[in-house]
Amino acid sequence: MIAARISTAIDNALLYEDAQQAVRARDEFLSIASHELKTPLTPLRLQIQKLRYLIRRGEPAAVSPEQILAAVEKSDRQIARVVALVEDLLDISRITAGRLTLHVEPVDVAALIRDVVERFAPSLADAGCTPDLSLPPDVTIQADRIRLDQVVVNLITNAIKYAPGAPLRIRLRRESDGGARLEVQDQGPGIAAADQERIFTRFERAVADVNKVGGLGLGLYISRQIAHAHGGDLVVQSTPGTGATFVVVLPAAPPVPQRDERAPLTPPDGQETAA
């Protein structure tokens, strides 16, 4: 009887501690998320105020179309940043609810990677990351094009943020089972062994100065979940001081979803699967 009561008391204490821990994690996340969302909104507001000032200044000739275009382009970049952050938050709730649905189609992985590298060419150049591509043309797999694009974008933006000023090797290979293996190798500071698993957990970051490099700590978590949803994986190999290599392996096609899997499935055309 006493033993049962002690055990209940311990359980309650542990539950209380878990709850406290969860509340702390939530508060910390809210403060990081608000900070991250505010970061692009502040310059956006300044741009809009500047535009208003320029337009209100009277004679139409006072504002050149170039000035307006520059302000609009800057604003557009800030808006894109906010949209990307909100998309990441939506992905987290989709993953948590088991609703990360794949829209599977044949994907030419080399073409997809080349497309992302072209889109990021200005940021890569600004960061001094020279891409060194090895992309054989015959790697076509069944995958979700948009989700795969998201994985490549995450790895490239991480290299830009954490490994600037050095070449970025991107190598694609066709596996013997018809799957794809992608390696994104930077020459940045690398990742300490103790952090190598932690960085794939949501909201986890391993940066010394969080104010210097922005981020929610979601990119790798989401990317690994996407790889898992395809029946593949995303891992890192790194020796601190010599850079990091992120490896994505994807099978030729995602596994066929099982009806009795825990995650709810939404396969309208039999081509979809869920994480």
Ligand X SMILES: Nc1ncnc2c1ncn2[C@@H]1O[C@H](COP(=O)(O)OP(=O)(O)OP(=O)(O)O)[C@@H](O)[C@H]1O
Q: Minimal CA–CA distance to 128: which of 84, 93, 174, 159?
A: 159
**CB-side exposure of 225: number of CA atoms within 13 Å?**
25
| Contacting positions for Mg ion (CB under 5 A) | 158, 219
Return d(Cα 29, Cα 33) in angstroms, integer.
6
Residue 65: partners with Cβ closer than 8 Å, 6 or more residues away: none
Task: Pick the closer one to ligand X by CB: 48 or 153.
Answer: 153
CB of 203 to ligand X, least distance (A): 9
> Which pairing describes strands 244-250 and 233-238: parallel, antiparallel, or unpaired?
antiparallel
Backbone angles phi, psi at 168, to 5 degrees: -120, 115
Q: Which of ligand X, Mg ion, none lies near 206, with the C-beta cut-off 5 to 8 A by kind?
A: ligand X
Q: Which of Mg ion, ligand X, none lies near 95, with the C-beta cut-off 5 to 8 A by kind?
A: none
Task: Pick the closer one to Mg ion by CB: 174 or 224.
Answer: 224
Q: Which of ligand X, Mg ion, none lies near 207, with the C-beta cut-off 5 to 8 A by kind?
A: ligand X
Task: Pick the closer one to ligand X by CB: 217 or 254.
Answer: 217
CB of 200 to Mg ion, least distance (A): 11
Q: Minimal CA–CA distance to 70: which of 36, 43, 42?
A: 43
Q: Which of Mg ion, ligand X, none lies near 218, with the C-beta cut-off 5 to 8 A by kind?
A: ligand X
CB of 211 to ligand X, least distance (A): 12
Task: Pick the closer one to Mg ion by CB: 158 or 238.
Answer: 158
| Contacting positions for ligand X (CB under 6 A) | 88, 154, 158-159, 162-163, 186, 188-189, 191, 199, 205-207, 215-221, 244
**Coil, helix or strand for 39?**
helix
Contact 208, 191 (CB under 8 A): no
Task: Pick the closer one to Mg ion by CB: 40 or 251.
Answer: 40
Cα–chain-centroid distance for residue 108?
A: 21
